[in-house]
């Protein structure tokens, strides 16, 4: 089973992304794109739409598409996660996901950053995106 096929046909919540590291093949998950619950903000459910997954031999960027209700791999690099090259790959993987944020901002679906947090794997930003957040919440609720 591939990582993409193991994900549900809905956005993940931030707490669900943490459970993905329980799979022995996934060493670390770095959230890249999150959208706050439209009713409770970043203190409620936070929907994960993009993340970088590190295994013992690669980095992959996965992204959720609300249009297709599915996840896809948008970046992959075979690299030792402890190497200097892995940092370059991490930046590239994040940039691939961030490019779509710019496109969504231009279409008015995602608004500016409203909250930022840091953890041991980097920074996470939360964006306000009322219409998109309601859509993601509906996808999540429909599937759970």
Please give the average per-residue pLDDT across 108-126, as a whole number.
63
Q: Tokens 């931030």 — which residue?
A: 14
Residues 6+ apart with CB under 8 A from 39: 137
Q: Tokens 């896809």 — which residue?
A: 72
For 49-104, how does the pLDDT look when each residue is reduced to its tens digit (9 = 90+)?
888 888 888 899 999 888 788 999 999 999 887 788 888 888 898 888 888 767 76
> Residue 128: what pLDDT?
56
Range of the domain at 93: 3-143
> Residue 120: what pLDDT?
63
Number of domains in the chain: 1
């Amino acid at each position: 089973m591939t990582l993409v096929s193991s994900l549900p046909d809905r956005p993940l919540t931030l707490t669900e992304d943490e459970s993905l590291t329980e799979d022995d093949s996934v060493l670390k998950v770095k959230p890249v794109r999150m959208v706050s619950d439209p009713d409770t903000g970043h203190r409620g459910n936070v929907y994960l739409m993009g993340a970088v997954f590190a295994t013992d031999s690669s980095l992959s960027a996965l992204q959720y598409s609300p249009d297709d209700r599915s996840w896809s791999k948008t970046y992959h690099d075979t690299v030792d996660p402890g190497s200097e090259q892995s940092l370059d790959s991490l930046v590239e993987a994040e940039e691939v996901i961030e490019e779509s944020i710019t496109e969504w901002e231009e279409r008015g679906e995602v608004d500016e950053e409203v909250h930022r947090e840091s953890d041991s794997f980097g920074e996470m930003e939360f964006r306000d995106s009322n219409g998109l957040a309601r859509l993601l919440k509906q996808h999540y609720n429909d599937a759970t």
